[in-house]
Structure 1
Amino acid sequence: MKINLLEPRALCLLLISTLTVMSNATIAPALPGLANEFSGTPSADFLVKMLLPIPALFVVIFAPILGWTADKFGRRNQIIIATIVFAIAGAAGAQLQEIEAIIISRAILGICVAGLMTAITALIADYFSGPKRSQFMGLQQAFSNVGGILFIVTAGYLASISARLPFYIYAIAILLIPLVFLSIRDTEPTKQPSDSQQDDINTHWKLPLIGCSLLLFCHLIVFYILPTQIPFFMADIGIADPSKSGLAIGMGTLTAAITGVFFGKLVAKIQSYGVALIGFIAMSIGMLVLSQANSFGLVILGCGLMGVCMGLVMPNFMVKGMELVPINKRGLASGVLTSSIFIGQFVSPFITSTLIAKLGYSDFYLLAGAFTLALALIGTATLKKQSNLSTNLNIGN
């Protein structure tokens, strides 16, 4: 039961999914150059740093709203509009002359990412069910991570020429519009045995959705240590070469992509709660390794284990969060899950920086490892209970 990656709609959804990782990472290599360019502007250093988190903030705000619009007005139209505006707003940063104007364009970019992620997740739930849905969510995670690697490497090269050139990478999105027109359709999804057939007033789906959202939120707080704290940690232990911190972050992204490919097979063998247990334990061990790390090799190992968790936990809780949701609420549910992810990204630097300042890196990583171990137990219990609930509801139907 394999997904044909050459099937137009599957390929389209996977390629569109790579756009969602572009919102933050793509201009990261350009930040020093932009800070230099706007050095004469009041509060320039702060404003330039805000270019990275601003899209995530607007994803948080608009994802539930655009999840509702995806249910109300259709997923296809939302993807088309969001992709076109994404390309324009993203590339606009190359030409806008004021830093405030670039920040506004980044906010619009975040709204587009919210529109894309909610519609894509809802379509995946519409088009696929059971093992195929799990398999596709894993492939989506893999494509997103591979796309992230390609975009950040390309952006680094372009930023060495001009700080404005990486913004043009966003314009690539416009090339996907013809594929969306040809392959994506809003279809009345067939109700599957694994899908909820509950009436709208039934609240069985709400608590599992909230549980999955909270676990995703907690997971992202810990995982976002990778891009936000690892470079500073490496400098603290005497590894000052920026290229090595890039390799460490890249290792986490690479292992996330690899494990995402195998996610569907793992779910079929050990169930979703088994996958959650393995994923969070991998992260916990990764934190333990980093707490003792004094060499580049140990940092690479710790970051790789963090990526294993990302590749398993993200698709796992996205799939389970959508599992019991009524068909006409899938867009809204995907908006809630998307918001939880980006809230975690947004607050992670504030929480982790505060704890590191108080505890130091070693003790902080030990605390993060213990927290992740607790997530392993809570996540496993939550998903096991949800699987039992799903089974009971299907028997009742």
Structure 2
Amino acid sequence: MNETQRQAGTGQGILLLCGSCLPILGAVLLGPVLAEVQAHFITTPNVAALTPVMLTIPALMIAVFSPLAGWLADRFGRRRLLLIGLLVYTLFGTAPLYLQGLHAIVLSRAGLGLAEAVVMTICTALIGDYFEGRSRMLWLSLQGAVASFAAAVFFGLGGALGEFGWRTPFWLYVAGIVMFPFALKLLWEPSRPHRLTPHLGAQTLPWRVLAVAYPFALVTGIALLMVPIQLSFILHGLGLDSPATAGLLSAGNQASVLAGALLFRLLVRFGYVPVFGGGFFAAGAGLLLVSVSKGQGGLLLGGCLNGFGCGLLLVGLITWALAALPSKVRGVGAGGFNSCVFLGEFLSPLVILLLRHGGVSLVSAMAFCGWGLVALILPALLAPLAIRVQAAALPAAD
């Protein structure tokens, strides 16, 4: 049968969902062991800045290079580039098992991020290529839900493996080479998508709408990783040095992201105003609770509240923005949204570092960020009204 006539099924869908989870592994796996990494490299200059950057620099690479990965996939083929990306993912992902310097490890993590940009972009594109209509929407919805669930699992797994040493979690990056033979067997090169016609350029993008959605996505990305990244340091300050505990609490935070994402469909029946207002309130209140907690119970509750708000915002914002995008440029608009989220994830530890550089404590910096999210409630309540007016002025989306 001709490759373009093949029909994708559950096997292809599950494989592409697994591939979409690989960047999540890169983002969250090391959160529970960051304090141990910093202690190991305590004599390295700027270790306080380099340690959290080691966790988040893959997100920066995804934010910057995802558009390039998409262009390369269109130019040279999706399947071939995905197979290369899976091998490079394992090559750079496992490098910290034997690298001895923190700077070298950070560079290897940047290489990992490049591979993740390729894998994530192509997996999403292949879902669009292989499936149509309701089937496509189902797999795209599952992509978001499975990613949140995977984050919760990876946090717990990273904490458990961290009990055997901070390098141990890096063994999980062999997942790329494990997936390689399945991708080789189950995936095929789809027919080339039609190029955008000349009139479908930047002028068709509703920039006034995206100028609201993208900054909100950036802030949500910052809030999304704030608890997982800082939790091990907060526990250390409380005298609770345990990667397993940090992993379990972070898993609760990410499980709540999944809960927020799943409950969005129920809450949006009342409109986007309660979704956005409630999302920023929960995300901010969660950080405030974390900042004043003195035990694991308060940290768990605050982390879950923060995660729930972030989950609501992630799904709500992308759905809200895509509704205003003409169908022929929705891919471009969605790519920009993802770049903003991942850029926010990269900036998350740097925001805390900047605040602490001003002389405030870690928990005070968390509280400041919590109040910042709460301050966005009013703009978030007004935004759906603005988007409705602007979207109505656009040509029909379809």
TM over 0.5: yes
Relative to 1, partners in 2 of residues 1:388 and 1:11: Cα closer, same or farther, differing over 3 Å? farther
CA distance in 2, matches of 1:161, 1:288: 32
Match of 1:142 in 2: 145
What displacement does 1:10 show?
2.1
What displacement does 1:113 show?
1.5
What displacement does 1:254 show?
0.8
* Mapped contact 2:151–2:251 kept (Cα < 8 A): no
What displacement does 1:112 show?
1.2
* Mapped contact 1:222–1:368 kept (Cα < 8 A): no
CA distance in 1, matches of 2:154, 2:367: 34
1:176 is the counterpart of 2:179 = yes
Equivalent residue for 1:368, pick from 352, 366, 372: 372
What displacement does 1:110 show?
0.8
* Mapped contact 1:87–1:171 kept (Cα < 8 A): yes
Relative to 1, partners in 2 of residues 1:252 and 1:69: Cα closer, same or farther, differing over 3 Å? same
1:51 is the counterpart of 2:46 = no
CA distance in 1, matches of 2:272, 2:123: 21
CA RMSD in angstroms, aligned pairs only:
3.9
Match of 1:381 in 2: 385
Which deviates more from structure 2 when the two are superposed, residues 354-363 or residues 175-184?
354-363
Match of 2:280 in 1: 280
Relative to 1, partners in 2 of residues 1:15 and 1:284: Cα closer, same or farther, differing over 3 Å? same
Relative to 1, partners in 2 of residues 1:132 and 1:206: Cα closer, same or farther, differing over 3 Å? farther
1:165 is the counterpart of 2:171 = no
What displacement does 1:15 show?
0.9
- What letter matches 1:250 in structure 2? A
* Mapped contact 1:86–1:170 kept (Cα < 8 A): yes
1:25 is the counterpart of 2:9 = no
Match of 1:103 in 2: 106
* Mapped contact 1:280–1:375 kept (Cα < 8 A): no
* Mapped contact 2:154–2:251 kept (Cα < 8 A): no
- Any idea what SS the aligned residue of 2:351 has? helix
What displacement does 1:376 show?
2.5
CA distance in 2, matches of 1:24, 1:354: 21
What displacement does 1:386 show?
6.0
Report Cα offsets for 1:139-195 as digits up to 9, x if no partner.
2232222222333333333333344332221111222223334146535679xxxxx
Relative to 1, partners in 2 of residues 1:131 and 1:263: Cα closer, same or farther, differing over 3 Å? farther
* Mapped contact 2:218–2:344 kept (Cα < 8 A): yes
Which deviates more from structure 2 when the two are superposed, residues 168-177 or residues 157-166?
157-166
Report Cα offsets for 1:211-230 as digits up to 9, x if no partner.
43222101122333212344
User: Normalising to structure 1: TM-score of the pair?
Assistant: 0.78
What displacement does 1:327 show?
4.2
Q: Which runs of 5+ in 2 are unaligned?
A: 1-7
Which deviates more from structure 2 when the two are superposed, residues 86-95 or residues 113-122?
113-122
What displacement does 1:14 show?
1.4
1:312 is the counterpart of 2:312 = yes
CA distance in 1, matches of 2:106, 2:366: 36
CA distance in 2, matches of 1:362, 1:348: 11
CA distance in 2, matches of 1:265, 1:147: 22
Which deviates more from structure 2 when the two are superposed, residues 349-358 or residues 367-376?
349-358
Q: Which runs of 5+ in 1 are unaligned?
A: 191-195
What displacement does 1:36 show?
6.0
* Mapped contact 2:155–2:251 kept (Cα < 8 A): no
- How do 1:1-40 and structure 2 match up within 5 A? 7-31=10-34, 34=37
Question: Percent same amino acid at aligned positions?
Answer: 27
User: Normalising to structure 2: TM-score of the pair?
Assistant: 0.77
Report Cα offsets for 1:13-56 as digits up to 9, x if no partner.
21111101122322344555555665676666765554223323
- Any idea what SS the aligned residue of 1:161 has? coil
- Any idea what SS the aligned residue of 1:203 has? helix
- Any idea what SS the aligned residue of 1:88 has? helix
Match of 1:341 in 2: 341
* Mapped contact 2:264–2:312 kept (Cα < 8 A): yes
What displacement does 1:263 show?
4.2
